[in-house]
Amino acid sequence: MSSLTLNPDEAGRPASQVSQTLTALDRALRFARAKLSPDITAQRLLILIAAYFHEGLSQKELLNHLESTSITALSRNLADLSAMTTKKAPGPGLLELRIDPSNLRIRRVFLTRKGRTFVRQWLAETVGDVVEED
């Protein structure tokens, strides 16, 4: 078994700072998995956070805030975070897609109350910054 050696990155950050960042990311993912599901992915968390800060955007507009996500992956993950997954099984119900009344081909992304509550808890736990309630 090989061990991970942390070296300063290109920006000159010391190994201790890189280690702290990795620890924080691990803690954030563990929190989400404990609250939602053991199979929640980092990509799904990023999508939830993007939807929280950019609620009401179309799928294509939301994609602009998710650099490493393809439209196919976004569409699949949005479905898997909604009330009905891509496999037609009950989902977590964290967000919903609403048809844009001015263009029926566009679906806009909104968090459900459950989704909004989760993201606020997640932010408070991982960032330490409590976001105002509605």
Q: pLDDT at position 81, please? A: 94
Domain residues for the domain of 121 are 40-126
| Position 21 in a domain | no
Reported confidence tier of residue 99, pLDDT bands at 50, 70, 90: very high
| Residue 114, φ and ψ in degrees, nearest 5 | -60, -40
| In contact, 50 and 44? CB cutoff 8 Å | no
| Position 87 in a domain | yes
Residue 130 has pLDDT above 50, yes or no: no
Task: Name residues whose C-beta falls within 8 Å of residue 63's C-beta, 6 or more positions apart in sequence.
Answer: 69, 71, 74
Q: What angle do CA 31, 36, 39 make, to 5 degrees?
A: 90
Reported confidence tier of residue 82, pLDDT bands at 50, 70, 90: very high
Report pTM: 0.78
Domain count across the chain: 1
Q: Bridge partners of 109?
A: 97
